[in-house]
Chains A and B, each alone.
Chain A
Amino acid sequence: MRLRALRVADVGGFVEPVALEGFSGRLDLLLGPNETGKSTLFRALQAVFFQKHSAKGKFLTRLTPVRGGTPLIEADFEIGGGNWRVTKQFGSGKTAMLQAVGGGASWRNADAEAKLQELLELSDAAPGRFGALWVGQRHGLGVPVLDVDPDTSRARSAGEQQALLAAIEQEIDDTAGGTLASTVRDLLLEMAKPLLTDSIAKPQPDGPKAKPRRDGPLDRALRHCSDLEEALEVARTRAAETAESRLRLEAIERELSQVMAPDVAKKRVDRVGELRRKFEAAQKAADRLKLLTTERDRADAVATREEAAFQQYCEGLETVHSLLKRRDALRDKRDHLVADIKTLEDQQVVFAHDVDHAEQTVVQARAVYDAQVYSQRCAEIRKEQSRLRLELDRARRLEDDVHRFHAVLRSSRVTSELRETARRAQRDIELAENRMDAASTWLNVEYLPGKSGDIAIGDAPLSAGTPVRITSPTDVVIAGVGRLMLSPGDNNDIGDAKAQCDAAQRLLSDALQAADVADLDALEAMFAARAEAERALSDAVATLNGIAPDGLRTFEARLGELEDMLTDLGDGSDIEAEILAGDDIGSDGVAADIDPGSMRTSVPLPVLEARVRQFKLDRDAARARLSQAEQTFKTSALALEHCQDKLRDCETKILEFEGHLGPSDERANMSDALRIAGEDARLVAREAQLAVVAARDDVLDGAALEALQAQVKEAEQCVTEAADRAQLLKDERAERLALIMAFDEDGQSQRVDQLEGELARARREATRLTNYAEGLKLAIGALDRARAQSHDRFARPVYRALAPFLEALFDDAEVVFDKDFRPVEICRNGADDAFDLLSDGTQEQIGLLVRLAFGRVFAEAGQSTPIILDDPLAYADDERLAKTFRALEAASAHQQIFLMSCRQSVFRKLGGHTVQLDRWYPDAGGAPIRSSTSQKLTA
């Protein structure tokens, strides 16, 4: 195809009709500044060739001028050796017309659209190969990405790749065996179509993903299997239930035959009858036994009563006999008791006397003892009185001494303080003198023989060898010689010592004076005498306190008390009287040891005391004997009384029994009669007992009877249960039979077999179809995989077409395409570069070369297609630009290249044929579409 002219009116910015006429059909250029309308013309070309005239929406909006209008586009082109004109008006006056230029046929509207597609070898108005070769502004930067919208980068069904594949079909045929593979694939798809969904046609890396087509044979077969499986499950369940019923029915029959077997039923009934008879017989025997037992008990009672009467009579006789014997015995006992009581009374008298005697003996012995005690007590008191008087005298003397010593002490003026003061003063004097001696000037005189006494102080001659203290200026006169004026000097110590000495002397003097003594020795002597008096006083006081700690008056009081005690003891006449009162006790009286004159005895007091205790013991023994005798007496008296009571009772009973027994002469007969009656009654009772024993053999005991009764019930229950069970089984049999009959009548017994057969066949069919469908999928998938593996070989025409263009720009370069013919890598001088990492300029240049190659491929396939480039090569440097120009020029030798650019001066170097925008003068009036005459284009 070659473009010859383009005319537009009311398109984009072209309000006035314009035209590009006179395309050379090889390298055509439209150069002009920006906003010339190049891109509008590019869109107009796309619209007139690929858009239906009825298109609207966004497309129409973009095409229509801002002020509105009905876009009109007309293009002249050459294709297949013929010249054509297509004219389309969009919008409200939508119309399409295709004319064969030169007076040929024409088509309008839809026919025109269809015819145009046919001419362009397009399908569904998709741009196909044109999409790969017509590059709008800004889109030339990228490499051609087939079937991808360059504006949105989204996949689209533009048919570009398909067009390219179609173009290289021959190559594919050469590589893969011609178009046979495609035909085979189509055949396989045709075979798969009824079975599988349409996705079977879509190649997938892992094979087609198609599923069974809804309501297709495979889908129906699978669903049929599923339906049959469900039906079979239901039938099997019902068949199983029926089979279970059949088994149950067999069991019921077996059980029924057992339950209802006549011999077994008869046995059950016979057993009930037999057990019942046994039970009734046992009950009768029990009743008879009860009756006999009652009779036996009655006879036994009579016999017992008779025997008791006899026994009672005999006992009455024996009782009377024994009562008589007892009466006699009681009488004897009573007599003995009377005698005993008399003896006891006598004995009590004796014992009472013994007691009195013992009492007196004790009193007497006590009196002797008391006398002895009196005597000793009086002696002791008097002895104490003597001792106390001596002590009193001594105390009184000591009291006098105390008074005397007190007087001495009161008369002495020397006190220990005074003595101490004097002694301290004396020590102070001595100390002061010593100090004065040490500090004083001493004058020691030694006389020459014969001169003794010649030296004197004052008038007093100095003795030889007697040092004299010089304490004050002293004139020493040496007889015959003169006077020595001695001065002791100014010595404070001497003064102080002297003053101290003087003070001490005064103190001593005062002390002495107070003591009324001449000197210290006298004071010491006086103080010693005082000390002696104090010591004697202390001793006397201590002694006195020892003797009479409470004073002398206590002595006197004690003496008074002793005197009172003597007075209280009396003179002993009472004791004497007591002793004397015991004279009549006997020769062994205790007074034998008493001296009547002194009322003293020689017997020691402990002995007397022992005697008293012995006498008391004797007395207590006598008392005990008396008490015992009295007790015995009382007992005997009571026994006598009791005996008499018994005797009376006995005699009363005797009278009573004798009244019952009757006259004594008839008692023997009476007794015999009673005995015989008892023996007769006992005989009757024994016979009754024998009857009971005999009857007991026929009677079952309670447990056995209960067991028998239980057996009867059990047997009866067996019969009832058998009947119930039989009825139950019959009912169930009827139910089961009805169920089975219903099952059989419905023909269900073969339903499972039928369904199993159907299912087996359906499964075989489903398996067959599945295998068929899967086999198709596998075959198609295998074909697709084989085709993919052949891709590199398919791309050979593209590589071949690209090679010269690539060589024009790069040395030793090769482009690698992916399966979608997208350049992914470029190899230059042995080095591989990812296409995406190349510079924008290089990518644009290679993209342009690839398009040239695609164009060459299409041209070689007989589908020469113009390459239209809107403002390309924006980033090419001069050298690359020149080389690209050469490539474009070379490419235009085989196909038309229409290039639009705003870079006029640069692209003029490209050469080629430049077309210019001219005014288009559509025919005035009439239809908006008119034949236009080609205007001469300026070159």
Chain B
Amino acid sequence: MALTFIHTADWQIGKLFKRFPDEMSGRLQAARLDAIDRLGALARSRKARFVLVAGDVFDAEGLPLKVRLQPLKRMEAFGDVRWVLLPGNHDPAAAGGIWSKMSGHLPLNVSLADRAEPLEIDDDVVILPAPLRQRVSSHDPTAWMVACETARDVYRIGLAHGSVTGFGHGDDANALIDPMRAKSAELDYLALGDWHGAMRIDARTWYSGTPEPDRFSDNESGNALVVEIAAPKAEPKVETVRTAFFTWVAMSEALSDSAHLDGLRSRLDAAFPDGLTRALVRLDLTGGLDLSQMSDVRAWSAALDAELAYLAVRDDGLRVRGDLSAHPAFLGQSELLAAAQLLEGLVASSDEADDAGRSRQAQVGLQLLLDAVETAIEEEAA
């Protein structure tokens, strides 16, 4: 009998997106919970026999009860779907850990694989879990799978959380896992968690990544894997399915003319054909613009921010350039022009002195001066 299941990981429920404003942080947290619904729906639609969550269901051990119960309730809502949860390094199966408080709350359709021992599902599937019992571990938690004997003609599915040796986190990574484990342990599939993007290690070894992205990284996050295995020992067929609600994009642009903003906008529109409302964008702007173009950039950014779920503009590398005397605001205003040029000189000298803070302040001062000049002109005109 063929086997289909969903491979997901790194939900990290309870994660605080602390760099974001409270409102956005709340939306991001909610999106992670909603991802469970999408996973459940995916499992149903694909008639998956179970969903493997390869570690880090929770982001931390000391989460409030409400936060702890929320994902369980979401999973319970999909009563026809069996969920197998693996403790990871964020939520290890440690004494006094988060799972020790959850034993009475687990729904019937949810299994906690908190022991390194075979977990039978039906008669033909054996899950070999490698739960982490502590945050920091130097041994390979999958090592035991090699010696674990199971009945013949059953699916041996490994479930682990950690870094593949030499992969992802460098030499000092936690819970290093032998990338050849699937072969050495004769696994039909090894479902891995910890790496937040979907990643194929070999035909039988995959990272699913997190179902809802949580950072500006171009690492194929926001997916789940639908795994189909025709028969024990058969090579699995793995399909990456998008599950993310939000899309995180980091873009950078070197501006020398405000007209470049149009191109930037075009790229954004192309990246989000369904609209920008679910887009989190980080813009790194560099280059140099004259004062009026700088104003254009600010106006453009403000307009874009209104469209996006979130916009972060990092324009520390953007400099005022051009002939200030040509700016209409300073025409006939020698004193104001002199003051602006003083500030412009301060920006340049601070840059040379590698004093980014001072340069930034001088740039702000220049912009404020320009704003004040324009305001004064408007008032006089009025």
Stretch at the interface among A556-564, A703-711, A777-785: A777-785
Chain A residues within an 8 Å CB radius of B104: none
Q: Which residue of A lies closest to B94 (CB)?
A: A250
Contact of B368 among A176, A740, A743, A772 (CB under 8 A): A772
Total count of chain B residues near the partner, CB < 8 A = 53
CA distance A785 to B363 in the complex (A): 17
Chain B residues within an 8 Å CB radius of A758: 18
Distance in angstroms from B74 CB to nearest chain A CB is 20
CA distance A242 to B96 in the complex (A): 11
CA distance A901 to B226 in the complex (A): 111
Q: Which residue of B lies closest to A772 (CB)?
A: B364
CB of B364 within 8 A of CB of A775, answer yes
CB of A754 within 8 A of CB of B18, answer yes
CB of A184 within 8 A of CB of B94, answer no
Q: Is A744 an interface residue (CB 8 A)?
A: yes
Q: Is A188 an interface residue (CB 8 A)?
A: yes
User: Are A744 and B365 also in contact (CB < 8 A) when A750-B16, A754-B16, A790-B335 are?
Assistant: no
CB of A750 within 8 A of CB of B60, answer yes
Chain B residues within an 8 Å CB radius of A245: 96
Chain A residues within an 8 Å CB radius of B375: 187
CB of B333 within 8 A of CB of A177, answer yes
Contact bitstring A732-755, B, C-beta under 8 A = 1, else 0: 010011001101100111100110
Query: Nearest 9 A-B pairs (CB), nearest first?
Result: A757-B18, A749-B62, A775-B364, A177-B333, A176-B335, A744-B62, A775-B365, A778-B365, A786-B338
Distance in angstroms from B330 CB to nearest chain A CB is 8
Q: Is A123 an interface residue (CB 8 A)?
A: no
The residues in B between 336 and 354 inclusive whose CB is less than 8 angstroms from any CB of A are 336-340, 342-343, 346
Q: Is B19 an interface residue (CB 8 A)?
A: yes
CB of B16 within 8 A of CB of A757, answer yes
Distance in angstroms from B150 CB to nearest chain A CB is 25
Chain A residues within an 8 Å CB radius of B63: 744, 749-750
Q: Which residue of B lies closest to A192 (CB)?
A: B368
Contact bitstring A763-793, B, C-beta under 8 A = 1, else 0: 0000000111011111100110111011000
Contact of A184 among B16, B136, B373 (CB under 8 A): B373
CB of A181 within 8 A of CB of B17, answer no
Chain A residues within an 8 Å CB radius of B25: 757
For chain A, the bracket of interface size reads 35 or more
CB of B16 within 8 A of CB of A771, answer no
Q: Is B377 an interface residue (CB 8 A)?
A: yes
CA distance A184 to B133 in the complex (A): 65
Chain A residues within an 8 Å CB radius of B357: 771
Q: Which residue of A lies closest to B358 (CB)?
A: A774
Chain A residues within an 8 Å CB radius of B17: 757
Distance in angstroms from A211 CB to nearest chain B CB is 15
Q: Is A839 an interface residue (CB 8 A)?
A: no
CA distance A737 to B61 in the complex (A): 12
User: A191, A242, A740, A770 — which one has the most chain B CB atoms within 10 A of its CB?
Assistant: A740
Q: Is B367 an interface residue (CB 8 A)?
A: yes
Chain B residues within an 8 Å CB radius of A849: none
CB of B18 within 8 A of CB of A756, answer yes
Distance in angstroms from A829 CB to nearest chain B CB is 33
CB of A782 within 8 A of CB of B369, answer yes
CB of A775 within 8 A of CB of B372, answer no
CA distance A873 to B7 in the complex (A): 105
Chain A residues within an 8 Å CB radius of B92: 250
Chain B residues within an 8 Å CB radius of A785: 338-339, 342
CB of B346 within 8 A of CB of A737, answer no
Distance in angstroms from B279 CB to nearest chain A CB is 21
CB of B363 within 8 A of CB of A775, answer yes
CB of A184 within 8 A of CB of B372, answer yes
CA distance A784 to B2 in the complex (A): 82
CB of B21 within 8 A of CB of A782, answer no
Q: Is B70 an interface residue (CB 8 A)?
A: no
CB of A180 within 8 A of CB of B18, answer no
CB of B336 within 8 A of CB of A184, answer yes
CB of A177 within 8 A of CB of B332, answer yes
User: Are A188 and B368 also in contact (CB < 8 A) when A183-B380, A249-B95, A741-B96 are?
Assistant: yes
Chain A residues within an 8 Å CB radius of B201: none
CB of B364 within 8 A of CB of A744, answer no
Chain A residues within an 8 Å CB radius of B133: 250, 253
Chain B residues within an 8 Å CB radius of A774: 361, 364-365
CA distance A71 to B70 in the complex (A): 89
Q: Is A218 an interface residue (CB 8 A)?
A: no
CA distance A250 to B335 in the complex (A): 71
Distance in angstroms from B328 CB to nearest chain A CB is 13
Q: Which residue of B lies closest to A737 (CB)?
A: B96
Distance in angstroms from A329 CB to nearest chain B CB is 103
Q: Is B240 an interface residue (CB 8 A)?
A: no
23 A-B residue pairs with Cβ-Cβ distance under 8 Å, sorted by A, are: A176-B333, A177-B334, A181-B333, A183-B376, A184-B372, A184-B373, A187-B376, A188-B369, A247-B134, A247-B136, A249-B95, A250-B95, A733-B96, A744-B61, A747-B62, A748-B62, A753-B18, A757-B16, A775-B361, A775-B365, A776-B368, A782-B342, A783-B336
Distance in angstroms from B64 CB to nearest chain A CB is 5
Distance in angstroms from A744 CB to nearest chain B CB is 4
CA distance A187 to B371 in the complex (A): 10
Q: Is B97 an interface residue (CB 8 A)?
A: yes
Chain A residues within an 8 Å CB radius of B365: 774-779, 782
Chain B residues within an 8 Å CB radius of A176: 333-336
Q: A757-B18, A771-B361, A774-B365 are in contact. List 16 more A-B contacts (CB 8 A).
A: A175-B334, A177-B333, A178-B332, A187-B376, A188-B368, A247-B134, A247-B135, A740-B62, A744-B61, A744-B63, A750-B62, A761-B19, A778-B364, A779-B343, A782-B343, A783-B336
User: Are A790 and B334 also in contact (CB < 8 A) when A775-B367, A778-B365 are?
Assistant: yes
Q: Is A668 an interface residue (CB 8 A)?
A: no
Chain A residues within an 8 Å CB radius of B95: 249-250, 252-253, 733, 737
Q: Is B379 an interface residue (CB 8 A)?
A: yes
